[in-house]
Structure 1
Amino acid sequence: ASPPLDLKLSCSLPSANVDAVRVYVNSSSENLQYPVLFVVRQQKGVLSWQVPLIFRGLYQRTYNYQEVSRTLCPSEPTPETGPSDQIIFVDVASMAPFNIAYELLVTRLENFQLETNKAFNFTASPSQPQYFLYKFPQDVDSVIIKVVSDAVYPCSVVSVQDIVCPVYDLDHNVEFNGVYQSMTKQAAITVQRKDFPGEQFFVVFVIKPEDYACGGNVNRTWNLQRTKNLQVTIVPSIKKSIYVQAMFFSFLSFLSFYLGSVVVAFVTDMKLTVPFGSVSFAGSGIMTSSHPITASTPEGSSYGAIDESSSSGGRQLSSPGCGLPAGSDTDSSVEEESDFDTMPEIESDKNVIRTKVFLYLSDLSRKDRRIVSKKYKIYFWNIITIAVFYALPVIQLVITYQTVVNVTGNQDICYYNFLCAHPLGVLSAFNNILSNMGHMLLGFLFLLIVLRRDILHRRAMEMKDIYTLDYGIPKHFGLFYAMGIALMMEGVLSACYHVCPNYSNFQFDTSFMYMIAGLCMLKLYQTRHPDINASAYSAYASFAVVICLAVLGVVFGKNDMWFWVIFSMIHVLASLALSTQIYYMGRFKIDLGIFRRAAMVLYTDCIQQCSRPMYMGMSNVPSSPSFSAIFGLLYRPRDFASYILGIFICNLLLYLAFYIIMKLRSSEKLLPIPLFCIVATAVVWAAALYFFFQTLSSWEETPAESREKNRPCILLGFFDDHDVWHFLSAAALFFSFLVLLTLDDDLDTVRRDKIPVF
């Protein structure tokens, strides 16, 4: 190799195939000061390297390879010219003052062009990368490149590059061109014909000198013999007709809910027109005849816990038989809630009421209905404001993510299920976005159902219907409207998250799930405690704190024991404070004297004498927070966001189960519609959770490790397990909302002083 040597090689290639030439060199010299330099000159370009070939890894580690094998850029002959000769010049040189032995071998690749639906096996190493050519068949517009390997390591990179010379097939330059993925055991890249004007491309396979990019041990020293056996198969992707079928399936599946709702509403209205004893209902659901109680009850009397005459100036808070004027909900002269709460007589009434052992709904629904309704409407307007200010930056961010993926070709940025990721336009996984349509459609349907009930209720109020005024659960729809908006926004933000799911934007997919669970619990509590429920401002502030904790948990909660200790203490103390406030119905002050009062209650009720609970129908034991805090400290789950969401869902389910049990224990009934919704909710949630736990990717791991979990589509050849979870969870949330909306319909003909509080 000294002095420089110039070799001229000539290869005759048949015109029927696109063949390539591969050059193999080997040198026994390990002297890095005088490497052997190889320069290959072709008609289309120049390729050069040195032996030993040096790769630099993490922490300035170097890896030297004496054997190097490179594929030269192919030359494609034309049918008009017939067989052509490929002229190749190989220059070998070294600046060493002594002779260096080397071996040079030039061979022609017989299987350079990959075929559709035909697996091809080969071996690659860091110094001996491989790449092959693929041409689109005439009837194929999109293909999926599937690569599998039996071994997890060594880490490799799969790249799809346009027909450009030179080909970037080394570890330090493979990311310069085309689309690429890191890989351990499997990888999949969807390629579309429109992205390649020549309707052909190179598939490049590079083995990395270290495995840290694929989750391997950084400190582990690897043997230089890092070879990996790979199998590549290129299969046609789905046709455009499958996209149309999937979109029709999505729309029709959820439009059936609209049809079912119309049928139920029609049947319900028909039943309301049937005479019931001496009482008949109008089509709008309004009681048109007087009720026997009005005749038996003296005029102006009250069946509440406290006589309304104790109020200042004879002002009435909620007097049976006294209707509100028409248009009262929109009356600008409605007094603010503070006008009532600052009156000392009302404060006295509150304290007296809360000393009763058994409370009834009339005790906790004494405020003017207009005031309370106005209070709960703030939930609706606030969540719209939150949604706008939250969604706009999210949409801008995910558009930026998708643009970066499309421009750089780095498919390690987003954690898709690449075996079932169907692109459309600039979107890389349109199926994951389409499957979130159910949340938006069913959320809008729920808003329509609530609006219908609200309109009927307003009509009844305008007609001063006795059943609407003094019977059943007080109707306040602000929280229901907020739940519908939250369900729609869950679909929007989940779709945004799935534009490019990764570590940085995980909270987009869960933020409104926290709010949905919290709003449902607030609605359950509001049902029997309409006067003392939390305000919208404090509720949304609490949700903001939860979201902040979720973000901190993902950043610091993986290995930081102190974070889990602090979080568990905050969790338990906050739960105790909330439980105390709920049990004492807002009359337990949280200030510096709380510890003294708690110790006094503990001494008098538990040590000095064993007293029974003040409210026998109330149950709020903070065992669930304690259990979840202990579980978090012991196991420290890696997915902190899902852990927090699990706490919310478990508490909601426990509260709902408690509510239903207490309802049945109080001899209340479950009508057919809420009973059907309860059964449907349980069945659909069970099916949805099954698909949720079919993990198809994980942003907690490296992109290569996440791809090991990828699986093919299971529905229509278009949707995967997670898409089915989207469909089913949307339906399950919709049925859950209907349960809360209809659960107490059986109480519409029961006096409020007969409805127990629990």
Structure 2
Amino acid sequence: FITEVTLVDAVRVYVNSSSENLQYPVLFVVRQQKGVLSWQVPLIFRGLYQRTYNYQEVSRTLCPSEPAPETGPSDQIIFVDVASMAPFNIAYELLVTRLESFQLETNKPFNFTASPSQPQYFLYKFPQDVDSVIIKVVSDAVYPCSVVSVQDIVCPVYDLDHNVEFNGVYQSMTKQAAITVQRKDFPGEQFFVVFVIKPEDYACGGSVPSSIHGNVNRTWNLQRTKNLQVTIVPSIKKSVYIQAMLFSFLSFLSFYVGSVAIYKNRSGIMTSSHPITASTPEGSSYGAIGTSSSSGGRQFSSPEHGPPAGSDTDSSVEEESDFDTMPEIESDKNVIRTKVFLYLSDLSRKDRRIVSKKYKIYFWNIITIAVFYALPVIQLVITYQTVVNVTGNQDICYYNFLCAHPLGVLSAFNNILSNVGHMLLGFLFLLIVLRRDILHRRAMEMKDDYGIPKHFGLFYAMGIALMMEGVLSACYHVCPNYSNFQFDTSFMYMIAGLCMLKLYQTRHPDINASAYSAYASFAVVICLAVLGVVFGKNDMWFWVIFSLIHVLASLALSTQIYYMGRFKMDLGIFRRAAMVLYTDCIQQCSRPMYMRLSNVSSLSTFSAIFGLVYRPRDFASYILGIFICNLLLYLAFYIIMKIRSSEKLLPIPLFCIVATAVVWAAALYFFFQTLSSWEETPAESREKNRSCILLGFFDDHDVWHFLSAAALFFSFLVLLTLDDDLDTVRRDKIPVF
């Protein structure tokens, strides 16, 4: 066969043989200037469980030739050899044609058909003004499963199911695929786009055909034809990268400007004198505030400090010598915490410096955890990205390929850049807390010690957790997949837990959990989350055990809250629990002393039952949802009780509450716009991919990153400023709830 080569041209060879005898196949060998291509008919593919797929019709594109500029058009000689070892004659059909549409053009859709034995590939050359393109492939049918590959101009071209993964970059595909290609990766500024149809759909999430003795019938093979459309469009320019980075940083730096403006207007408030300082009689004490004593550095009001002169009291009150005193009432915490109505003075009796050091351990521990957690994570995701770049297997990472903009070795730089808000706003929150801490220390020097006890260790820990959420979310999005999803959620668990601890610590400063027990609990939660991802999909026993652990842990936490930390968790717990049930439920039906605290575990019990019945596929998100729902309900309860107690909401916390609600609502809208799913196959995940929606650079999930960072920042500010109205209120007037 002799053909005249004028432009980049390709020749396609079609063969057909009626012989189905696998013992005597017909061998076709095509020899040309750039190499040799051979195959047999029937063409055999092997699938899962040793199934075989035989095809009588085969069509292959030969490696194309391009005329040299100095010689112009030339002739190309192609030899086709046909041979068989069969002892009888075998009929075959041979057809050689020139492909008229072999070179793809920019922004022009091209339609074609392919099958396992008739793969297709086409050539694309970069235009002069284009440095990066996106190859978009779509199909109306989900199956058959196919593979899209981008290969350099090298012969032979790997265009069969068993060798398409040997060269270049490739993706599996059902209905859509997208590959970003950069000019710098191809020295010749051109490449092949290869389309291979797989003989079975298992790799794309489909079912495997039933067969007898491993052989699949002819009907299955005839259905393995797929209509495809490929469109190559220019990707974004470098100027868009610069605009996106400026937008990301300037958007969050505006929070710094706003914070400076607000605190400039309020610079004198924290250091101003309080009316209580002037109105309190000399030598008197109130609540937990007073001169240092041997028991915790606090002295409480006692009967010997009689009412001030002129006060409206009953003159017939008995003298102190007329009855026996019980000093332990004023000092024994077991007695104090049995009061029906507790005030903050009852639960803030410990020395302020000791309690403050206790909460600073949260800060130092979370830094240690962050370093030891983040370094292996960074090393692991760098390895993942290296494997993707070296092997070209883009099924390893679950990106939104229609909006994945590479930079350097990173495949989806936009997903990483969008996490800058967590780090910038986390650092800003640390600065705000530091300023408050400094002002509070100055106030303490002036004996300005009333209102809610100011312990900033948990706030510092929350700021570090927000920054680490940004770091680990960025690490996860270097290569998002089934194996590293816990990186994206680990510090979200810690943020939710720290917020709940901070809310509880506000009115219970002496009995809040220690940093060691809190972080140990977070570690258990993260372990359960990992086990749930591995075993939680179909294992009923895992859900039974998890639900049991969940209910028991909720009951233990509720008991500790109900008994104000005085219920010991030891071997005698069962005997004491039986005693309480007998005395309060059987011997006499007693009403719970603290009705509000007695229902703490109701939501957790309901969520455990829900998980056991429905068994959600995304176990990590299910655990996170439990934390977030508990936090939101606790915060709502706290605000409602604050209003019921006639406490005020100042303008700044009120603004932060409204901003938190609005930004969280917007953030959750974008969060539920699913763009990929590592719970499915890579091909099925790509069906959810969508184009960018912000600046042509960020997708819906990136917007979620931006908004969730702002929402978390406002949430932290709510906790930081919520009780500013109590700075001038005596602690024995502040109720506990």
TM-score normalised to structure 2 length = 0.92
Question: Over residues 12-47 of structure 1, what are the superposed CA-to-partner deviations in whole Å (9 max), with x where a residue is unaligned?
Answer: x56652110000011111111111111111101000
Give the equivalent residue in structure 2 for 1:356: 339
Distance change >3 Å, CA 305–CA 239, structure 1 → 2 = closer
Contact 2:329 2:336 in 1 (8 A): no
Aligned residue for 1:222, secondary structure, equals helix
Instruction: Name which of structure 1's ranges 217-226 and 101-110 shifts more when overlaid on structure 2.
Output: 217-226
CA distance in 1, matches of 2:324, 2:233: 71
Give the equivalent residue in structure 1 for 2:157: 167
CA distance in 1, matches of 2:320, 2:607: 37
C-alpha deviation, 1:615, in angstroms: 3.0
C-alpha deviation, 1:626, in angstroms: 1.1
Contact 1:210 1:222 in 2 (8 A): no
Distance change >3 Å, CA 705–CA 286, structure 1 → 2 = closer
Contact 1:15 1:78 in 2 (8 A): no
C-alpha deviation, 1:713, in angstroms: 0.4
C-alpha deviation, 1:630, in angstroms: 1.0
Contact 1:696 1:710 in 2 (8 A): yes
C-alpha deviation, 1:333, in angstroms: 48
Question: Over residues 503-562 of structure 1, what are the superposed CA-to-partner deviations in whole Å (9 max), with x where a residue is unaligned?
Answer: 010000000000000000000000000011000000000000000000000000000001
Aligned residue for 1:710, secondary structure, equals coil
Question: Over residues 627-659 of structure 1, what are the superposed CA-to-partner deviations in whole Å (9 max), with x where a residue is unaligned?
Answer: 101110111011000000000000000000000
Contact 2:427 2:467 in 1 (8 A): yes
Give the equivalent residue in structure 2 for 1:27: 17
Distance change >3 Å, CA 282–CA 113, structure 1 → 2 = closer
Distance change >3 Å, CA 105–CA 331, structure 1 → 2 = farther
Question: Over residues 112-145 of structure 1, what are the superposed CA-to-partner deviations in whole Å (9 max), with x where a residue is unaligned?
Answer: 0001000011000000000000000011000000
Alignment of 1:45 with 2:35, yes or no, is: yes
C-alpha deviation, 1:82, in angstroms: 2.7
Distance change >3 Å, CA 199–CA 363, structure 1 → 2 = same
Contact 2:41 2:57 in 1 (8 A): yes
Question: Over residues 387-425 of structure 1, what are the superposed CA-to-partner deviations in whole Å (9 max), with x where a residue is unaligned?
Answer: 000000000000000000000000000000000000000
Aligned residue for 1:570, secondary structure, equals helix
Distance change >3 Å, CA 606–CA 141, structure 1 → 2 = same
C-alpha deviation, 1:618, in angstroms: 4.2
Gaps of 5+ in 1: 1-12, 262-277
Distance change >3 Å, CA 450–CA 231, structure 1 → 2 = same
Instruction: Name which of structure 1's ranges 605-614 and 246-255 shifts more when overlaid on structure 2.
Output: 605-614
TM-score normalised to structure 1 length = 0.89
Distance change >3 Å, CA 460–CA 282, structure 1 → 2 = farther
Contact 1:341 1:347 in 2 (8 A): no
C-alpha deviation, 1:681, in angstroms: 0.3
Aligned residue for 1:30, secondary structure, equals coil
Instruction: Name which of structure 1's ranges 32-41 and 543-552 shifts more when overlaid on structure 2.
Output: 32-41
Distance change >3 Å, CA 295–CA 172, structure 1 → 2 = closer
Question: Over residues 219-247 of structure 1, what are the superposed CA-to-partner deviations in whole Å (9 max), with x where a residue is unaligned?
Answer: 99944441000000000001111111101
Question: Over residues 605-633 of structure 1, what are the superposed CA-to-partner deviations in whole Å (9 max), with x where a residue is unaligned?
Answer: 34443433223664543110111011101
CA distance in 1, matches of 2:628, 2:172: 36
C-alpha deviation, 1:598, in angstroms: 2.5
Distance change >3 Å, CA 713–CA 339, structure 1 → 2 = farther
Residue 284 (structure 1) aligned to one of 256, 267, 270: 267
C-alpha deviation, 1:96, in angstroms: 1.1
CA distance in 2, matches of 1:497, 1:453: 34
C-alpha deviation, 1:355, in angstroms: 1.4
Aligned residue for 1:50, secondary structure, equals strand
C-alpha deviation, 1:685, in angstroms: 0.3
**What is the RMSD computed on CA atoms of the aligned residues?**
6.7
Aligned residue for 1:656, secondary structure, equals helix
Question: Over residues 453-483 of structure 1, what are the superposed CA-to-partner deviations in whole Å (9 max), with x where a residue is unaligned?
Answer: 0111111112333xxxx32101000000000
Question: Over residues 71-108 of structure 1, what are the superposed CA-to-partner deviations in whole Å (9 max), with x where a residue is unaligned?
Answer: 00001012432321110011111111111111100000
Question: Over residues 186-230 of structure 1, what are the superposed CA-to-partner deviations in whole Å (9 max), with x where a residue is unaligned?
Answer: 000000000000000000000001111000199999444410000
CA distance in 1, matches of 2:54, 2:313: 81
Distance change >3 Å, CA 620–CA 107, structure 1 → 2 = same
Give the equivalent residue in structure 2 for 1:526: 505
Instruction: Name which of structure 1's ranges 55-64 and 288-297 shifts more when overlaid on structure 2.
Output: 288-297
CA distance in 2, matches of 1:330, 1:507: 63
Contact 1:529 1:757 in 2 (8 A): yes
Distance change >3 Å, CA 429–CA 279, structure 1 → 2 = closer
Give the equivalent residue in structure 2 for 1:10: none
Distance change >3 Å, CA 317–CA 145, structure 1 → 2 = farther
Distance change >3 Å, CA 631–CA 314, structure 1 → 2 = closer
CA distance in 2, matches of 1:428, 1:231: 24
Question: Over residues 362-395 of structure 1, what are the superposed CA-to-partner deviations in whole Å (9 max), with x where a residue is unaligned?
Answer: 1111111100000000000000000000000000
CA distance in 1, matches of 2:11, 2:320: 85
Distance change >3 Å, CA 342–CA 212, structure 1 → 2 = farther
Contact 1:412 1:703 in 2 (8 A): yes
Give the equivalent residue in structure 1 for 2:277: 294
CA distance in 1, matches of 2:314, 2:442: 15
Contact 1:318 1:368 in 2 (8 A): no
Question: Over residues 696-716 of structure 1, what are the superposed CA-to-partner deviations in whole Å (9 max), with x where a residue is unaligned?
Answer: 000000000000000000001
Distance change >3 Å, CA 343–CA 731, structure 1 → 2 = farther
Distance change >3 Å, CA 309–CA 383, structure 1 → 2 = closer
Alignment of 1:745 with 2:735, yes or no, is: no
* Percent of aligned pairs with the same amino acid: 95
Q: Tell me the matched-pair count.
A: 726
Gaps of 5+ in 2: 207-214
